[in-house]
């Protein structure tokens, strides 16, 4: 198998890592002969790929990959996705797609809520929002104070516009 290795120096990352290392070393008064070697390796990373990547795309691809790993970490730890119990590749692909969609919704909701509300608490509060189903339309029930505050925070003024006017698919 042929592999390509891309060695990258990211100046922004180098500056950030160098500052962190020096502040830690100065704090503990640990600067010695090994400090130079440690400083030289800061900001450097290697991306290994079985395919060829344009040099202009290596850094964005690396950070995209890092973001995906971070998101799947959230999926595993925060959303507690179930362990895989599958027997075919198509099932795996479907499972990953559903988890990715759920993770995307989770991240978007979490971002929209900001620091003011916790997502799990918000979903628990909003779970109690009900609507009456009639033959030809829906009617959203009265919202509690907490539900109104959450909807205002999310800048949703007319919840009725989000509910379909007629039942059925």
Q: pTM (2 decimals)?
A: 0.45
Query: Looking at the predicted structure, is the pLDDT value of residue 100 above 60?
Result: yes
Q: Taking the domains of the chain in order of start, what are their residue ranges? A: 1-53, 120-161
Cα radius of gyration rounded to whole Å, the chain: 24
Q: What's the whole-number mean pLDDT along residues 68-80?
A: 70
pLDDT band of residue 163 (cuts 50, 70, 90) is low
Q: What is the C-alpha to C-alpha distance for residues 92 and 101, in angstroms, rounded to an integer?
A: 14
**In Å, how far are 35, 63, 103, 140 from 96, measured between CA atoms?**
43, 20, 10, 34
pLDDT band of residue 86 (cuts 50, 70, 90) is low
**In Å, how far are 9, 27, 71, 93, 129 from 90, measured between CA atoms?**
38, 53, 22, 5, 37
Query: Looking at the predicted structure, is the pLDDT value of residue 29 above 70?
Result: no
- Condensed to tens digits (0 to 9), the pLDDT of residues 107-150 reads 888 888 888 888 888 888 888 888 777 776 677 778 889 888 88
Residue 66 near residue 38 (C-beta atoms within 8 A) = no
CA atoms within 13 A on the CB side of 2: 2
């Amino acid at each position: 198998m042929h592999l390509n290795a891309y060695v990258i120096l990211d100046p922004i990352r180098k500056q950030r890592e160098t500052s962190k290392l020096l502040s830690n070393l100065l704090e503990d008064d640990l600067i010695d002969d090994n400090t130079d070697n440690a400083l030289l390796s800061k900001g450097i990373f290697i991306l290994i790929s079985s395919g060829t990547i344009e040099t202009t795309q290596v850094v964005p691809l690396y950070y995209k990959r890092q973001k995906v790993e971070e998101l799947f970490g959230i999926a595993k730890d925060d959303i507690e996705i179930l362990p895989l119990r599958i027997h075919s590749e198509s099932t795996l692909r479907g499972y990953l797609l559903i988890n990715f969609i759920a993770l995307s919704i989770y991240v978007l909701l979490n971002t929209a809520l900001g620091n003011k509300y916790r997502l799990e608490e918000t979903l628990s509060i909003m779970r109690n929002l009900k609507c009456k189903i009639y033959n030809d339309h829906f009617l959203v029930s009265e919202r509690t104070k907490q539900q109104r505050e959450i909807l205002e925070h999310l800048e949703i003024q007319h919840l009725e516009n989000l509910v379909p006017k007629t039942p059925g698919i």
